[in-house]
Amino acid sequence: MRASRATARLVCVLTLAWCPSAGPLVAQVTDAAGPAPTAQQLEFFEKHVRPLLITHCYACHSAEADAPETELRLDSRPGILQGGARGAAVVPGEPEKSLLIKAVRYADPLLQMPPSGRLAPREVDVLVEWVRMGAPDPRSEAAQPAAPKQPYTVSAEARQWWSFQPMREPAVPVVQNERWPACEIDRFVLAGLEAHGMTPAPPAEKRVLIRRATFALTGLPPTLEEIDAFVADDATDAFAKAVDRLLASPHYGERWGRRWLDLVRYADTSGCNSDFPIPEAYRYRNYVIDSFNRDKPYDRFLREQLAGDLLAAEGEDSPSEDSNQRRYEQIVATGYLAISRRFSSLAEEFHLTLDDTVDNFGKAILGLTISCARCHAHKFDPIPQEDYYALYGIFQSTTYSFPGTEIYRHTQDLVPLVPAERRHKELLPYLERTAELDARIFATYSHMATLDTGDEKNELRARWQAMQKERDELVKSLPDFPKAYAASEGTPINARLHLKGNPESLGPEIPRGFLQILGGQKLAAGQPASGRRQLAEWITDPQNPLTARVMVNRVWQHHFGRGLVRTPDDFGTRGAPPTHPELLDYLALRFIEDGWSLKALHRRILLSRAWQTACLENADYARRDPDNERLWTFNRRRLEAEEFRDAMLAISGALDRSPGGAHPFKPEWEWRYSQHQPFVDDFATNRRTVYLMQQRIRQQPFLAVFDGADTNAATGVRQVSTTPQQALFLLNSEFAHEQAALLADRLAREAPQSRARLDRAFRLALGRPATGVETDEGLEYIERIEPLLASAGIADRDRSRAAWASYLRVLLSGNEFMFIE
Amino acid sequence: MTTLQARRWERRHVIQSLACGSLLLPGIVADLLAEDTSRQSADPLVPRPPHYAPRAKRVIYLFMTGGVSHLESFDPKPKLAADAGQKYNGRTLLGPQFKFAPAGQCGTPVSELFPSIATCADDLCVVRSLTGSHFEHFQATLGVHTGSLTVKRPSIGSWVSYGLGTDNRDLPSFVVLAPHLPYAGTQVWSSDFLPVCHQGTRVAPGDEPIQNLHRRSPTSAVQEMELDLLARFNGRHRQDRPSDPLLTGRIQSFETAFGMQRAMPDVLDLSQESPSTLALYGLEPGSTDGFAWQCLVARRMAERGVRFIELIDTGSSNNWDSHTNMQDHVAKAKNVDQAIAGLLKDLKQRGMLDETLVVWTTEFGRTPHTDGPTGRSHHPYVFSSWLAGGGVRGGIVYGASDDYGYEVAENAVHIHDFHATILHLLGLDHERLTYRHAGRDFRLTDVHGRIVTDIIA
């Protein structure tokens, strides 16, 4: 990065950041009185200036402006001299000091007016000349002082939107067919069906159900033993036992943790232009998986991710011998904040990372598009810009671990996961040395960036590079200790509103706090902390109408293929209203009552008859309810990328079921990544797909083809695309061919006899025995393909394996394997 | 009968012949064969009419990586030469390092870096007032592709694919010929929230131009057996599930993949090209190196109906990013100059230039002042690009930078304007080409964009 202007700005912004008390750089307000304009000057104004202002400026900067997003008024002399948030628009006689001139010159990319396009040079000249002559202006009537901005209040109307209303205990509906419901969920669903003269589909067959449930809870196919045991179990609670078994499996966390990782756009790299690796990110990934496996209450799960370090410091848990481990876990949880996306190499663009945090926090946890209020009040939902910056300030007061960038290739602010004593004795001296060296490296770079080409610059560059090498050596010499890529408390500061979202155009200071529509709690003035602790409480308050609703909707969505609210990341007025609002509230209230237990919620849903219906077609119903919103039948769904790959590995026997650990990144002291040579790698593994290393600059190739989650933005709904590239993967990829061959080997071992082998293949892949037709067809296929393989030069001893692999790969390519019913 | 239809017939024969004398159920075969006629249903890539009469049917987007100096390519600055060595904004001005001469009938000045492109000057509409980019490669590259300088958004090629669909289902609608990953990696051709079928498919020279393109089954006879068996599995499965479009779509995708597996090697098989064509592009027979290969493949894709063909000349290293010495531009220009001229001439002689919009662009220009001793730094305030064919006025220069090429002096063309104009030439209204995502309608041009009508023929 050698863009001189950029780095000059970098230095400037950082200087401001270091001095949080520094005031805004606004021009002095000039006295409105001035020498009376001459007739000639007034003529100039009327002929040239007024038309120009009317044409290009009044739409936003006058009393007539529709929706003034600014205080600046250009329709009177007092208005111009008083100016807007940045100060006076014009300093009479001083074009070079006048913001108006600066803006129309378009020289500063951050202050360019009119925004629709630059004025013609002649028009700019007119304005410059006018200012130089003292800005003569007959419009002396004081502008209607822009009405002082009313503090924002949420209107009663806005509060009426369903999702902002408190959750209400619904009356469980009365149904005609009393024999059908197994639980309250069923009553809600059945009531909806009966109201439209529809009846639910019969229950799914047991083989279908166990395949459905096993993929639903673990993302893996059932084993032959699991299928047989379930089919043989005639007890009335056979399915309940199976669900409990699946929820107790460590694979449950891998499956459902992945859903959370989708939402928080998890990646093992930073997303900056060089996509620096984050070797410690895996700890957060494993924390998520582990939390799901332990059925950590969802409210606590959220609190830990926002403020785990503070909970740890408060000793929320009783001190015990494993209190250190608990503490570390809670620190790791704040990886949620630290994995926010990084942009470019410039510290000055860190505001984009904070924006990313707010955006993700809103969508993933609250189901609100808060980020729409970054530049202006949300156009549709009751979220003023102030609310955006009330949250922003909380994250701005937080220190995120730094992953390194091209300019500065070392990590900073990682949190050591060691006992306080060790930290103090062993690490502190090192931490002090690195901090000191970091400061020098930074100062050198900043100075260098301001210099023109020449010896001094070259000398500084050499010094800067030498210091980075010194830093490498320091890292290298360090004792190995576990650390977390996490968040910690920074300098508490209220954010200043970014006018039009521009971080260099600062408006009033906004006290840190919560969304007004959700209570509008504020931090106590002078609060010596970021406010994450309070934020964690506000969002998990059982009175909060969104947090529980949003999460139960997500769980419902994954079990039924679609949420009760079809827009799971948007519960605002642009989102879809719920198809079954009472059911949604019923589930949300039970969720809270159950101590925010997700496993209890799964149990509730899976044990309903609504979830256990067969997957059928009905032309009449399809016409009346094309999206099956009333849920008369189970929605067929395609395997997600992870399920597909994991199932192939599981069936072939190649799946490594052990949990994944750290990825084999190069050590930090060898990092030389740059925008020209960004980090790009694949670390092959036969572990579950959730453990694959995922980047932000380059999508993991397999996941890119099969609609994997976006590592750059919250993915609430996976796309289900059907592309020829997916088919090519099955036809031609090494992976597909290898798994088929391994499955052939496995079957040859386990079932030497051909008919039994075919049958076993069907049971493994599809969860059912082969039919007579399928068996005959399979035998014929093997028989017919062997000569083709022989003529293709496949040696005798390999031919049978190749023939079976060919057959099995087709079996695994079929729709029956790829879809869950 | 077109080759495509012919091939479908061939495939039918394969299926039918395999059906003879086996346990195949005839009903299922008929079902499978019926697919060919019903494949258009609910297909997001089906050709769609534009909003109004288009001037171009397709785009070839030539992206020069690293930031080509406007001052050494299409924007001559005599005053910069005169004031070389002086200080400007605290920096030392560097005079243009290459000579310009008027080219063609129109006399558009082109630098000596591009002697071949200069011979096409009468077809070029040079824009010297592009602006709205970013200081850094990553964001700037993202910007000229997606209109967004910060977060990933759908690429312009994805928008065009979404807007117009494609005429040839055996090839992707949006192809990116890229030997190396550019800045911002695969985000450059991401469809982001648009359906994945609109994502750019990267084609790289070498053994495997597209992932998993080559048949891995030992012979085509074996593969056809496999596809036939798959059709039987899927056909039986579908008997009780006739109306699920996802099942049907997936069955069709194997047919399309089979088609692509044959169509793609064909489009990449340059042995069908005459020696004179190869010479026109400056391509050695058998070579897959360099931009000449990319340009010739682009023409072949254009002929076969690919909607948006992007060519990225180099990757995120060894590109036009000449910080220390502008002479580094020489090799980069040599890589592309004859190839691009060859492409323009070839399209023209085949009568395709009128309906093919060729766009030449880069992520930003370079500073009028030095960075390294005789190099230049990144410059997003003003830079140059050109368009040709597809409804643009050839032989003109639009917009101007100031005397040093520091800022736009007149007729600024913001990246959003550039995109709006490209869409317009394709018959797409940038304000109507929207996609509902996260609660609002998104556009390539966000809430901006002005169609630069002055450059339209």
Nearest to A4 among B91, B222, B223 (CB): B91
* Residue in chain A lying closest to B241 (CA): A617
Per-residue pLDDT, A65: 65
Question: Considering only CA atoms, which of A265, A226, A95 is closest in space to residue A695?
Answer: A265
Asked if pLDDT for residue A791 goes beyond 80, the answer is yes
Question: Cβ contact (<8 Å) for A814 and B223?
Answer: no
Asked if pLDDT for residue A438 goes beyond 50, the answer is yes
Compute the average pLDDT of residues B297-324: 95
Question: Cβ contact (<8 Å) for A810 and B439?
Answer: no
Interface A-B: count of C-beta contacts within 8 A: 255
Chain-centroid distance of CA A194 in Å reads: 39
> B324 Cβ partners below 8 Å, 6+ apart?
B371, B372, B373, B374, B375
Question: Cβ contact (<8 Å) for B216 and A734?
Answer: yes
Among A623-637, A732-746, B19-33, B56-70, which is the least confidently predicted range?
B19-33
Nearest to B183 among A273, A636, A733 (CB): A273
Among A23-37, A407-421, B227-241, which is the least confidently predicted range?
A23-37
Per-residue pLDDT, A205: 97
Residue with tokens 């209890």: A600
Question: Cβ contact (<8 Å) for B256 and A725?
Answer: no
Among A74-78, A594-598, B176-180, B212-216, which is the least confidently predicted range?
A74-78
Asked if pLDDT for residue B18 goes beyond 50, the answer is no
Per-residue pLDDT, B37: 35
Asked if pLDDT for residue B320 goes beyond 80, the answer is yes
Among A33-47, A372-386, B336-350, which is the least confidently predicted range?
A33-47
Query: How far apart are the CA of B308 and the nearest CA of chain A, in angstroms?
Result: 17
Among A299-303, A354-358, A717-721, B446-450, which is the least confidently predicted range?
A717-721
**pLDDT confidence band for A776 (50 / 70 / 90):** very high
Cβ atoms of A400 and A593 within 8 Å: the answer is no
In whole angstroms, what is the distance from residue A565 CA to residue A579 CA? 7
ipTM of the complex: 0.83
Query: How far apart are the CA of B287 and the nearest CA of chain A, in angstroms?
Result: 26
**Which residues of chain B are within 8 Å of residue A1 when distances are taken between CB atoms?**
136
**Helices B26-38 + B3-19 axis angle, to 10:** 170
Residue with tokens 């329709």: A75
Query: How far apart are the CA of B358 and the nearest CA of chain A, in angstroms?
Result: 26
Compute the average pLDDT of residues A529-549: 97
Ranges A590-594, B193-197, B316-320, most confident: A590-594
Cβ atoms of A527 and A537 within 8 Å: the answer is no
Nearest to B371 among A109, A453, A727 (CB): A453
Among A6-15, A296-305, A600-609, which is the least confidently predicted range?
A6-15
Strand A398-400, strand B91-92: pairing: unpaired
**Which residues of chain A are within 8 Å of residue B185 when distances are taken between CB atoms?**
275, 678, 680, 695, 697-698
Among A229-238, A297-306, A389-398, B195-204, which is the least confidently predicted range?
B195-204
Per-residue pLDDT, A141: 66
**pLDDT confidence band for B19 (50 / 70 / 90):** very low
* Residue in chain A lying closest to B150 (CA): A343
Q: Give the containing element (helix H, strand E) for A483.
A: strand A483-484
* Type of residue at A741: A
Nearest to A813 among B218, B230, B244 (CB): B230
Query: How far apart are the CA of A574 and the nearest CA of chain B, in angstroms?
Result: 5
Compute the average pLDDT of residues A743-770: 97
Question: Cβ contact (<8 Å) for B195 and A726?
Answer: no
The mean pLDDT of chain A is: 89
Query: How far apart are the CA of B345 and the nearest CA of chain A, in angstroms?
Result: 33
Higher pLDDT: B339 or A30? It is B339
Compute the average pLDDT of residues A628-653: 97
Per-residue pLDDT, A32: 42
Q: What is the largest CA-CA distance in chain A?
A: 109
Question: Cβ contact (<8 Å) for A363 and B438?
Answer: yes
The percent of residues in chain A predicted with pLDDT above 70, rounded, is: 92
| Strand runs labelled E in A622-673 | 637-638
Per-residue pLDDT, A117: 73
Question: Cβ contact (<8 Å) for A680 and B185?
Answer: yes
**pLDDT confidence band for B429 (50 / 70 / 90):** very high
Question: Cβ contact (<8 Å) for B256 and A574?
Answer: no
In whole angstroms, what is the distance from residue A465 CA to residue A459 CA? 10
Per-residue pLDDT, A502: 87
Query: How far apart are the CA of B312 and the nearest CA of chain A, in angstroms?
Result: 15
Q: What is the 3-state secondary structure (H, E, C) of B293-344?
A: HHHHHHHHHHHCCCCEEEEECCCCCCCCCCCCECCHHHHHHHHHHHHHHHHH
**pLDDT confidence band for B14 (50 / 70 / 90):** very low
Question: Cβ contact (<8 Å) for B136 and A6?
Answer: yes
Cβ atoms of A304 and A752 within 8 Å: the answer is no
Per-residue pLDDT, A9: 33
Asked if pLDDT for residue A630 goes beyond 60, the answer is yes
Residue A130, by phi and psi: left (phi above 0), alpha (psi -120 to 50) or beta? alpha
Question: Cβ contact (<8 Å) for B186 and A363?
Answer: no
Cβ atoms of B125 and B344 within 8 Å: the answer is no
Nearest to B232 among A6, A724, A777 (CB): A777
Question: Considering only CA atoms, which of A171, A177, A170, A169 is closest in space to residue A195?
Answer: A177
Per-residue pLDDT, B33: 38
b/e map of A135-158 (b: 16 or more CB within 10 Å)? bbbebeeebeebeeeeeeebeeee
Higher pLDDT: A479 or A267? It is A267
Compute the average pLDDT of residues A610-625: 94
Per-residue pLDDT, A137: 87
Contacts 24+ apart (CB under 8 A), A815-818: A815/B233, A815/B234, A815/B237, A815/B238, A815/B247, A815/B250, A815/B251, A816/A766, A816/B233, A816/B234, A816/B237, A817/A639, A817/A647, A817/A765, A817/A766, A818/A638, A818/A639, A818/A644, A818/B250
**Which residues of chain B are within 8 Å of residue A117 when distances are taken between CB atoms?**
412, 414, 450
Higher pLDDT: A188 or A29? It is A188
**pLDDT confidence band for A182 (50 / 70 / 90):** very high
Higher pLDDT: A314 or B104? It is B104
Among A215-229, A346-360, B2-16, which is the least confidently predicted range?
B2-16
B384 three-state secondary structure: strand
Chain-centroid distance of CA B385 in Å reads: 15
- Write the DSSP assignment of A32-91 as a string of letters: S--PPPPHHHHHHIIIIIHHHHHHHTTTTSSTT-SS--SS---SSHHHHHH-BTTB-S--
**Which residues of chain A are within 8 Å of residue B152 when distances are taken between CB atoms?**
710, 712-713
Query: How far apart are the CA of A785 and the nearest CA of chain B, in angstroms?
Result: 7
Per-residue pLDDT, A743: 98
Which of B35, B45, B135 should be substituted to probe chain A, the one whose Cβ sees the most A Cβ atoms within 10 Å?
A: B135
Q: What are the helix (H) ranges across A792-814?
A: 796-813
Nearest to B250 among A617, A722, A773 (CB): A722
In whole angstroms, what is the distance from residue A260 CA to residue B56 CA? 45
Question: Cβ contact (<8 Å) for A678 and B213?
Answer: no
Per-residue pLDDT, A34: 58
Question: Cβ contact (<8 Å) for A788 and B222?
Answer: yes
CA distance from start to end of chain A: 53
Per-residue pLDDT, A26: 31
Which of A343, A356, A453 should be substituted to probe chain B, the one whose Cβ sees the most B Cβ atoms within 10 Å?
A: A453
**pLDDT confidence band for A519 (50 / 70 / 90):** very high
The neighbouring-strand residues paired with A488 are: A399
**Which residues of chain B are within 8 Å of residue A343 when distances are taken between CB atoms?**
139, 150
**pLDDT confidence band for A6 (50 / 70 / 90):** very low
Question: Considering only CA atoms, which of B197, B121, B170, B152 is closest in space to residue B360?
Answer: B121
**pLDDT confidence band for B40 (50 / 70 / 90):** very low
Question: Cβ contact (<8 Å) for B136 and A346?
Answer: yes
Residue with tokens 């924006």: A355
DSSP type of residue B62 = E
Question: Cβ contact (<8 Å) for A789 and B90?
Answer: no
Per-residue pLDDT, A109: 67
**pLDDT confidence band for B245 (50 / 70 / 90):** confident
Q: What are the helix (H) ranges across B156-219?
A: 156-164
Higher pLDDT: B352 or B45? It is B352
Per-residue pLDDT, A740: 98
Question: Cβ contact (<8 Å) for A780 and B23?
Answer: yes
Higher pLDDT: A71 or A505? It is A505
**Which residues of chain A are within 8 Å of residue B373 when distances are taken between CB atoms?**
453
A416 three-state secondary structure: strand
Per-residue pLDDT, A312: 82
Compute CA distances B257 → B33, B46, B119, B208, B260, whole Å: 16, 16, 41, 15, 5
In whole angstroms, what is the distance from residue A64 CA to residue A707 CA? 49
Compute the average pLDDT of residues B2-28: 38
Nearest to A117 among B87, B381, B450 (CB): B450
Q: What is the 3-state secondary structure (H, E, C) of A309-365?
A: HHHHHHCCCCCCCCHHHHHHHHHHHCHHHHCCCCCCCCHHHHHHHHHHHHHHHHHHH
